[in-house]
Structure 1
Amino acid sequence: MSFIFFLGVIFFKSSGQSTFTPMNGDYLHYIERYEIKSGKLSDKFYSNVKPIGRKDLVELSLNLEKDSLSRLSSVDLFNLMYLQNDSWEWLADNSPNGLSEAKAIQNNTRKPFLKYFLQKKSDFYYHHNEDFDIHISPILHFAYGNDNLTNNAPYTNTRGIEIRGMLNKKLGFYSMFTENQIAYPAYVRDYARLYDGFPYEGFTKVMNSDSTRLVADFFSARGYITFNVLKNLTFQFGHDKNFIGSGIRSMILSDFSAPYLHLKAITQVGRFQYINIFAQAINKQVPVAADGTEQRPPKYFTFHHLSANITKNLNIGLFETIVFGQRKIGFDINYLNPVIFYRYVEGNLGSVDNSIVGMDFKYNFLRSFSLYGQLVLDEFNLKHFKQKGWWATKYSTQIGARYIDALGIRNLDLQAEYNLARPYTYSHNSTYSNYVNYNMPLAHPLGSNFKEFLFIARYQPLNRLTFTYNLMLAKHGEDAGAINWGGNIQRNYNLMRPGEYNNFIGQGNTANIQLMDIGASYMLGHNLFIDASFTNRKLQYVNTSQTINNRVLSLGVRWNIGKRQLLF
């Protein structure tokens, strides 16, 4: 606690600090697309570590507009204006001769509501001066649909508020709160029953939880502060999420679980970026007292990620993480060392904590293409690796590619990705050490014991209209009865394991998953969208020939919130 207090004191010496961009599909796509079009990797932010600062994304958009080689379409110019409007407070600091001020004015509305509200297209209310900057906007998401496998139609009812800003241009702050009632599609309900939790969320009350009717009632909240203690050292503290990588999935650290309390330190010097995360997750697998007198026990993880722009187009990153349970004093202070190799600390303590290491890379070229990938080693022994299918040869990999303005068609972007994880990867012999937060995986939604191919096509023919096509083909080895085949990472890998050797991806109750999602979104106003989508998910069990077809049609409207990604 004294360490955190120390950080809370020294921020008063910090310089101007931005909050982070939203973690939604549109923003993630814009970050990757416009970095590719820029022709080089940025030294101001590292897109393999998300979210990134709003200030940095505004600077990228302004530089891209001045780049004659970027071949921007009218739709691109509209998207860049959208990004600038969404973070307009940073425009004046990123362009000379008042040009940015003119851009900020373009975000003004013609007729504010009651004089003080909706003065800007991007903010319901704002106040901006040298000492204090605040932006307040409502969050709304209403959707209704049809599901062939449920008695009650899927729907979404979300209301909330988002607040962000700066104090004295030194302390950035962000807070988001929503109240939700959601009836998920049948396949998501089955997932929630199996893992006792909902994707992306933490504590959830369940209404009408019989076999076909399952409605989730829950609060969502995120909140953090950001500050610089040195020119090249930024801190973030609060409840939030992180995503490592450039893919549709992250095999290293994704945003699929609930927000978690963490302190993140970002050190950036030239071509190098170094990330430290000290996090407290929640172990929901441990039962609490029925009378509610006990709180859910915490678990912890620490994370290092060193990233370097080897050339202007090639980035390589190395990472390590340790997941461990609560000590007598809470967080193990041995893991607070920001520069030591964690595996040494874990071994020196004689602990049985879960140690995971690996790497990632990205290579952008020809202002049109990007290759990326990840390798995660959970456990590796060369002696046993030579023997077929040793259970503890635990690793996962990813390889993917992007092609923007594909086939010469402007604003048609294609992405293909292949992921796999060996059985028992990310699992451990203790619920305090598996790679799980609030019963949801910290990496891939399928956990482990799977192979997966993903394809996404995104086409934006008009400024405000976007079509998407998502395809997922996967083979997942689910656990059969009491036997642990290595698909559910919540389970103890030492219990009910079938054998030491001859383990393979897809073993157990083999499930073939085919999911196709077609969607369209139209932007009525800034961050106000109408969405329509059709999802067809086919689940086929090889051993029993059982087939389940889930077809979901949905129509909705959302304001200041991204779409929930249910691609699993």
Structure 2
Amino acid sequence: MRLSLTILFGIFLLKTSAQSTYTPLNDDYSHLIERYEIKSGSLSNLHSNIKPVRRKDLVKLTTDLEKDIKTKLSKVDSFNLAYLQNDSWEWLDDEKLTQNDSKKSFLKHFLKKKSDFYNFQNKDADFHISPIFQFAFAHDNLVKNQPVTNTRGIEIRGTINKKLGFYTMLTDNQIVYPGYVREYGRFYDANPYEGFTKITNADSTKFGTDFFSARGYITFQALKSIQIQFGHDKNFIGSGIRSMILSDFSAPYLHLKITTQIGKFQYVNIFAQLINKQVRVAVDGTEQIPPKYFSLHHLSLNISKNLNVGLFETVIFGKRPIGFDINYLNPIIFLRFVEGHLGSVDNTIVGADFKYNFKRHFSLYGQLTLDEFNRKYFRKNNWWATKYATQIGMRYIDVLGVKNLDFQAEYNLVRPYTYSHNSTYSNYINYNLPLAHPLGSNFKEALFVVRYQPINRLFLNFTAMLAKHGEDFDNLNWGGNILRNYLIARPRDYGNVIGQGNLATIRHLNLGASYMLQHNLFIDLKLQNRSVNYTDEATKSTIFSLGFRWNSPQRALLL
């Protein structure tokens, strides 16, 4: 794979043009992107169901929206559009550039722009440097060692010779998670959204982590319609809160992403190296974690100005003497054919997604993922290998005419044993964490989100999660833990239903308020109430938190 990538980079770097790095990948940013795409009345060519989006494309969406006389923008909308433009000001035209200037700089060289602590531009280079800081403390009634977050770091992005883009983020973190996150971390032997972490004390009352986090990639425009990204980062496919296809919940992974966009078509290829933490290999007296691999094709088409439909296929594989199997490097072949041609030893998943925006207020979206499909058994008494996941959701912005009051409802369903496999090299897992939904499989979930921005800098939100999840018990595999081999300890072949096993009913309510003191400098207040009920026991927790963050997203831990 290394030789192939070297040749590929050599060919494409011979002739490149101006390109863009990507926007942040977090819930708040994604909501703004979806909101203003709905408000624009047209899907354009943003293809926001593939996240993150390019900064260049987002700036175009916001500036076009300001020029659209049919769009009714509130004062808060104008503030938000200016915020998004300021965050990527290098793509603004000369007329708008001055709006990002700070009223007062620091020592003449720092904070000259609202969004950058330091920036430098000339004909050869463009650099943006900003610190990352987050400190939060909380009270959780179920634990003695109370939750704390302490994050410090730096973020750097830019371009060289207007041809090569780059991004890097480095943070040092000490975190004591709430009790329910600690339980999740112990179960999966991994912390949500993160890779390698050191557990400072494994005792259940003093559970904390200390870890260094890093992401980085380069981008370049190979041809007018083809952009290349290579590095360690994440991706998210979908328009919802969750993704049944590919989410950002697992650890960052090394990948090559090729995005081809021609008119109403966008075609994305991702070739990635994941981490199989379930296997340890002794090499020369040391213990190493072997890799596993991932290839994904996603075709997105704007059928009309309101309707987008996507088709995808992906394959997870590993344990090859040559590493990445070059058969899966073909960007335009049907992966299921290749997988069958190689002996059907790998895990292939296919499916579709859609989004329909209408009346500049509504968006209907959904996903269907097929992990196993056998027409003969599909409707036959709930066969164990009838494995699929579905999602349906809706956004309603400016509810009942109330400006900047937005509502979102989403329903997710995943059959038992979906995403699991008979090999740890082929389950839908990276660094022990699900690549799709955090609950894995064997569940039903309803999500409700209300967001309200009454004034420019104040953000209020309420989230409710209601789920029924079938968990394992008595050492039997009931299909909820996708780390397990679906051939081992499976109780039955037929009669498998969602919620089978030890049924957990989860209710998670989250009420939050954030105030932006300066650009990307927030103070956050949050109140969470979470309960899990089983047949013979129940746990309830109430968590109150206060935090400050600068150039750092809120940690979305809706489990």
TM-score by length of 1: 0.97
Cα deviation for residue 292 of structure 1 reads: 7.1
Name the amino acid aligned to 1:2.
L
C-alpha separation between the residues in 1 aligned to 2:334 and 2:269? 12
Pick from 20, 36, 44: which aligns with 1:34? 36
Q: Residue in 2 aligned with 1:328? A: 321
2-side partners of 1:54 and 1:149: how far apart?
A: 42
The CA distance in 1 between the partners of 2:212 and 2:206, in whole Å, is: 20
Q: State how 1:335-350 maps to structure 2 within 5 Å.
A: 335-350=328-343
- In 1, distance between residues paired with 2:339 and 2:278? 23
Q: Is the 8 A contact 1:396 1:422 kept in 2?
A: yes
Q: Report SS of the residue matched to 2:144.
A: coil
Specify the code of the residue in structure 1 equivalent to 2:84. L
Q: Verify the 8 A CA contact 1:470 1:518 in the aligned structure 2.
A: yes
Is the aligned partner of 1:286 residue 2:291?
A: no
Alignment of 1:303 onto 2:296: yes
- CA deviations on 1:507-557 (whole Å, 9 max, x unpaired) are 001000000000000000000000000000000013x2x110011100000
1:557 aligns with 2:548: yes
Residue 422 of structure 2 contacts residue 485 of structure 2 at CA under 8 Å; is this kept in 1?
yes
Of 413-422 and 285-294, the range deviating more from structure 2: 285-294
Identity of aligned residues (%): 67
- In structure 1, the residue matched to 2:64 is 63
- 2:280–2:288 contact (8 Å) kept in structure 1: no
Alignment CA distance shift 1:234-1:103 (3 Å): same
Of residues 547, 553, 558 in structure 1, which corresponds to 2:538?
547
* Match of residue 483, structure 1, among 465, 476, 480: 476
**Contact 1:15 1:227 (8 Å CA) reproduced:** yes
In 2: Cα distance, 1:292 partner to 1:445 partner? 35
Task: Count residues with an aligned counterpart.
Answer: 557
> In the aligned structure 2, how far is the partner of 1:220 from the partner of 1:532?
25
1:214 alignment partner in structure 2: 207
Q: Does the 8 A contact of 1:512 with 1:540 survive in 2?
A: yes
Residues 290-321 of structure 1 show CA distances to partners (whole Å, capped at 9, x for unaligned) of 99713210000100000100111000000000
Is the 1:12–1:170 contact (alpha carbons within 8 Å) kept by the matching residues of 2?
A: no
Q: In 2, are the aligned partners of 1:326 and 1:332 still within 8 Å (CA)?
A: no
Q: 1:198 aligns with which of 175, 191, 194?
A: 191
- C-alpha contact (below 8 Å) 2:280/2:287 kept by paired residues: no
> In structure 2, the residue corresponding to 1:13 is in which secondary structure?
coil
Contact 1:323 1:433 survives alignment (8 Å): yes
- TM superposition shift of 1:343: 0.4
SS in 1 for 2:418: coil
For 1:98, the equivalent position in structure 2 comes to none
CA RMSD of superposed structures (Å): 1.1
- 8 Å CA contact retained: 1:358, 1:374: yes
Q: Which residue matches 1:259?
A: 252
1:96 corresponds to: none
Runs of 4+ in 1 over 4 A off after TM superposition: 288-292
Q: Structure 2 counterpart of 1:82, which letter?
A: Y
Question: Quick one: which amino acid aligns to residue 195 of structure 1?
Answer: Y
8 A contact 1:300–1:326 mirrored in 2: no
For 2:483, the aligned partner's letter is Q
Q: 1:474 deviation in Å?
A: 0.1
Does 1:230 find its partner at 2:232? no
Q: CA deviation at 1:130?
A: 2.2
Read off the aligned partner of 1:554 and give its amino acid letter: S
TM-aligned CA deviation for residue 110 of structure 1: 2.4
Residue 221 of structure 1 and its aligned partner are, at CA, apart by 1.1
Deviations along 1:229-283, whole A, 9 cap, x unmatched? 1100010000010000000000000000000000000000001010000000000
TM-score by length of 2: 0.98
The one-letter code sitting in structure 2 at the alignment partner of 1:65 is E
Equivalent residue runs for 1:508-527 within 5 Å: 508-527=501-520
Paired residue for 2:443?
Answer: 450
Is this contact kept in 2: 1:454–1:472, CA < 8 A?
yes
Bigger CA drift: 210-219 or 137-146? 210-219
Partners of 1:481 and 1:282 lie apart in 2 by 29
The CA distance in 2 between the partners of 1:461 and 1:104, in whole Å, is 27
Structure 2 counterparts to residues 31-110 of structure 1, below 5 A: 31-43=33-45, 45-92=46-93, 101-110=94-103
Q: Following the alignment from structure 1 to structure 2, what is the Cα–Cα distance between the partners of residues 567 and 401?
A: 19
Q: 1:68 offset after TM fit, Å?
A: 1.4
Hey, what does 1:6 align to over in structure 2?
Answer: 7
Contact preservation (8 Å) 1:430, 1:492: yes
In structure 2, which of residues 262, 266, 283 is the aligned counterpart of residue 273 of structure 1? Answer: 266
Structure 2 gap segments, 5+ residues each: none
